[in-house]
Amino acid sequence: MGGKRQGLPFDKRGGTIVLCRQLIESENYQTLSMHARGLMTLLQVQWRPDKAVDYGVREAEKRMLCNRKTAMKAFDLLVERGFILCVEQSVFSSRTQSKSRSWRLTWLPFGFNPPSNDWEKWTTNN
């Protein structure tokens, strides 16, 4: 049957965030804090397959309505559990433009390569 290709019924506004069932059902994901899970979604909104995600603690605390310490803990937990990997450190300069840290989301493709899925290596013994 030919004809016009239909988009997914829940994607009428041009964007959908999807997590694979294996990730959601994993013990690693299930034992994350709610702030860490929320941060994963915020990072994925910024994701593109050809570059790292620039996202900082200040932005996370503003978007998640939490304090700095909670936002930092969420980043640390995602790094520790293998969901994100820092690929470039932040730069702060009062004379030049500051830059947030850059992240690779390991459950998604990066640099047009398949996902590394580092989060699968985490165990409760870590």
pLDDT tens across the length of the chain (126 residues): 455 555 556 666 667 788 999 999 999 999 999 999 999 999 999 999 899 999 999 999 999 999 999 999 999 999 999 999 999 887 765 566 777 899 999 999 998 899 999 999 999 876
Q: What is the pTM of this model?
A: 0.84
Per-residue model confidence (pLDDT) at position 6:
57
Per-residue model confidence (pLDDT) at position 84:
98
Per-residue model confidence (pLDDT) at position 89:
86
DSSP string, 7-52: PPTT-TTS------HHHHHSHHHHTS-HHHHHHHHHHHHH-BTTBP
Backbone angles phi, psi at 87, to 5 degrees: -110, -15
Give the distance between the most distant pair of CA atoms in the chain: 61
1 CB-side CA count, 13 A: 3
Query: Domain spanning 24-121 has what CATH number?
Result: 1.10.10.10
